[in-house]
Structure 1
Amino acid sequence: MTIYHFVGIKGTGMSALAHILHDMKLKVQGSDLEKRFFTQIGLEQKGIKILPFAKENIQPDVDMTVIAGNAFADTHEEIEAAHELGIPVIRYHKFLGQFMEKFTSVAVTGAHGKTSTTGLLAHVIQGAKPTSYLIGDGSGKGEEDSEYFAFEACEYRRHFLAYHPDYCIMTNIDFDHPDYFQNVDDVFNAFQEMALQVKKGIIACGDDEYLQKIQAKVPVIYYGFGEENDFQARSIEKSTAGTKFDVFVRNNYYATFKIVGYGDHNILNALAVIAICHYEGVSEEIIQDRLLTFEGVKRRFSEKKRENQVLIDDYAHHPTEIRATIEAAKQKYPDRDIVAVFQPHTYTRTQTFLQEFADTLNLADHVYLCDIFGSARENHGKLTIQDLKEKVNNSHVIDETNVEALKAHENGVIIFMGAGDIQKYQEAYEALL
């Protein structure tokens, strides 16, 4: 029996894929850095072997296929060892592209909202048909008799061009990953190329000016708040318990839905899922029930109560996402102070969006900043966290040793935001409490 060996198994996409193959009764193992990552908890619970990186992990007398994470170059010792021994090596996105051919596949892509929308789609469509899924928070599930495969498709370095899905949900187009994309037009071109690879239909946010320009060989169904959308949300009622709205399909009333999410972005995510389910003939009763039982995905508005405070862990690392997260917190907790604890992710992104970061962080009542989480591939230049601090009103810089400053906000909602290792600041604060 073939052993699938994952080089970089703790990566979010890689760990999710490892879960899927394991669930489908295939033999899975992997290697990674010995540093602890949140993704390994689920792998350990399933008994999936995780080894430290070593060329000895690649064994000449074993039937093995190596799945290589995109973060690792061809010069990595295990990848080199596999090539020398004639063992097949396939990149993560290439493997995924071949794997999905067995199912009705739904790719979820966009600059923001991919993970939450993939999680919601997988949860809802499972209520109708057996579904396998791969979510960018490290979650994955394989069903041996799956009809559907819902997966997150990342635009970074145009990796999603390895995929030819049946359907594609496109949530938005925005300038991000400035270490790779030149500008928003470069991002648009990548999405346009992806659109031409979709086989059955595209579900796109019609409120997004760039997505309105997408050309495709298949139908493009638009969703959003504007009247020109095929699927439109109307009569929106926001409360501290969630959000309720009516959905009109081409100006005809379809049904009323409730979600336990907050903020406009969660209405749009739900609309995308409602549109694809409607297109695939899933009943409105199943959609309504499943929307109400969705518990969210990891690191997206993940809440804990500690004493009188609410602590929220969120992956927001782009100005658009920070705005959405703060607005959601204000909807759920209108009578509390919103405290942002933000760790910028990569020097290139911080430099590119310095003013936009400041503008969105200023929407919070109080702001604490953590040192920039840089990438090994970057040239740091002279940029420091002080450059952002100067632009954010009454902000403070903290590290793991002085998180007790957050205790001052007795009734506050403290949002730890970032894509680096922001969790260590939250863990340090929780240990203090």
Structure 2
Amino acid sequence: MTSPQPDARERQDFRRLWSGATVSQLGSAVGMVALPVVAVTVVGASAFEVALLSAFTAVTTALLAFPLGTYVEFRRKRPIMITTDVVRFAALASVPAAAALDVLTFAHLCVIAVVNASCLIAFTAAAQSHLKALVSGPRLIEANSRLESTRWLSVSAGPSAAGALIGLLGAAGSLLIDAVSFLVSAVAVRSLRTREPAPPVRERGASRRAELFAGWRFAWRHPHLRPMLVSWVTFAGASSMGAAVSAVFYLRDLGFEPWEYGLVMGVPSLGGFAGARLAPRLVARLGAVRALWWTSVSRGPWYFLIPAAVPGTPGLLMCGFGFGMVLLFAGAANSTMTSYRQQRTPDELMARVAALWSFATTVTQPLFILLGGLVATWADSRAALFAAAALMCASAFLLPRGSADGHRLDAPGSSGSAG
């Protein structure tokens, strides 16, 4: 039997990678709900301690993003992806084991948060670099579209599945689902057949400091990646700012029932799924830079429907529709931006530029959350949500507009550095 042709092998390998990512993302969505429940119901953590778990994740990302990005850059990516998946499997599986032995502590959960955050940085940096090597240029936007759509689907279905699993298996037991999902991801990566290219070679005589911040320097000097990074940080921060006060607004100001709150937080994520699948067609028609600009301009105004909502069913529909439309255009924008960044970044900087995005997002989001809390305190939750909507709209105008033909993802030279 003849071996598959390169294009067929590429498609088969991407399907394996995508299947593993789908299972892993669904498991992570379950774990995102289950871990705080374990902290509260099993360990008896206070509200401050639960917040501290999130703080450990943020601090770990801030401290390790650049060093881990540099470490990953000069090594083969698949072994790193497999190792980080296996480590996360072992870390999460230790929680139900410790709970069964009645030795689970808050310190144990803090260690899990640090380990998971560290592995996520390394895995993301390796995976984004590896995807570019696995999928040829013209197909990269389609690959990112599928991965992004799966992420939104897991955000929509995962919390509901988590509630059912927690009821069936208990909070600690449900973390086994998250743990096993990482094992599935590791097996999927291990099954890839396309030969992985050799990693970049370190420049002789380059200082460690120069290596550490090479991704930052490249992105900051690039005429399109710099405004994309600033715009992304602004939009992601505004989203966090709104999310921090939305629970109070929905439950207290609008008087939503808990099931209505769950509905308006979960179902609109299907908009993100649809937007991600729409991205390849928009890029083919407009080019990457213009597609990113138009989808970013289109996402922010819909958020104004949320603070403008009134109590009752009309308000529920306004919030759900507005949030869904924001996520539809955000899903398209995210897929486009990720693909453009991968194509325009030289292979020897891929992991470090991916780590830069993680670092910038994680470091700035707490500041936006604090800003939202201050506005809600000085005025009210509705004012904070209006401010978040205004920032979302403003973030789009930080982007370059580009031309329809000059910045397609399959344009010649798109995989190299900017000229």
TM-score by length of 2: 0.24
TM-score by length of 1: 0.24
Higher strand content, 1 or 2: 1
Structure with larger RCO (C-alpha < 8 A, sep 6+): 2
Higher helix content, 1 or 2: 2
